[in-house]
Amino acid sequence: MLVTGASGLLGGAVARALVARGDDVRTLQRRASGVAGATDVAGSVTDPAVVTRALGDGVDGVVHLAAKVSLAGEPEEFDAVNVGGTATLLEAARRAGVPRFVQVSSPSVAHAGTSLVGVGAEPADPVGAHGDYARTKALAELLALAGDGGPAGTSVVAVRPHLVWGPGDTQLVERVIDRAARGRLPLLGHGAALIDSTYVDNAADGIVAALDRAPDVHGRAYVLTNGEPRTVADLLAGICRAAGVRPPAWRVPAGLAGAAGGAVEALWRVRPGADEPPMTRFLAEQLSTAHWFDQRATRADLRWRPAVSVDEGLDRLAAYYGGRAG
């Protein structure tokens, strides 16, 4: 098996899950994955020679997670990695006769800024998607699902894990905790929007299930979550309490946050900061609109169910931060 992007939280969890069940696992990313038992190949999915080397001989499945994930950046960078990298990997996998391919996508590919309430995997829409990340992930998903599968082809399935979090997460959890500790984490509106999230081990297991089921679900896309919607306020508070940090208590009107996000984006284009921008229009939408999903097709078709509840995940997060403090 080949896993791209295994140096990230979710990619590493997928690679470890595959190693744990006895698969021969290679990983492809710019830095070491740190996954015991996996063979690392250093490089970028945009480099055809590196991709060919990573696929090598005998790879019977690919899980593609490598991507440019950011709230800011040059559009050309998103296109080169998220679209161009996917095209390079897909072409090489099909040429090598790899039978199964999982495109790890995002629910943002079908989020045009309004609430998503109890929906399934709506069609990816690069025109309506907000932000370069969502736009290019939508293009990549459409590209991945466009090919023929079947006995002589590569079976491709797209999985969209939503809001993945867990111990060691630097993309969501660490930023929430850091900003809350500095008093810079507001609730947008009343923080009452219901949102789904996915504990990292569940997301990894769901992706492995999609890999196994790819020949039977070729060409389809699935949103993958814990299936336990919480309000934004509740989820942020749970994360903060797990790390011993005071939850956010001050509020900003959602419309004002969206306008401020637009101003920050304009400033970031001229003078980009060292970290992610504190607010963008996309982030304001994500924190103020409902987005939770019908999981019936995902669970039935992938023959998967989440093993770790949100509450158990928060307990594990608390144990992680308690251990770090100790």
Active site residues: 133
- Judged by DSSP in three states, 223 sits in strand
Q: Do 63 and 207 meet the contact criterion of CB atoms below 8 Å apart?
A: yes
Q: Do 223 and 162 meet the contact criterion of CB atoms below 8 Å apart?
A: yes
- Cα of first residue to Cα of last residue in the chain, in angstroms, is 37
What's the Cα-to-Cα distance from 33 to each of 49, 173, 207, rounded to whole Å?
20, 20, 18
Q: Do 153 and 219 meet the contact criterion of CB atoms below 8 Å apart?
A: no
**CA-CA distance, 45 to 25, in Å (whole number)?**
17
Which one-letter amino acid corresponds to residue 234? D
Closest-CA residue to 1 (of 91, 104, 93): 93
Here the tokens at position 104 are: 């790890």
What's the Cα-to-Cα distance from 304 to each of 11, 113, 202, 207, 293, rounded to whole Å?
18, 29, 9, 9, 16
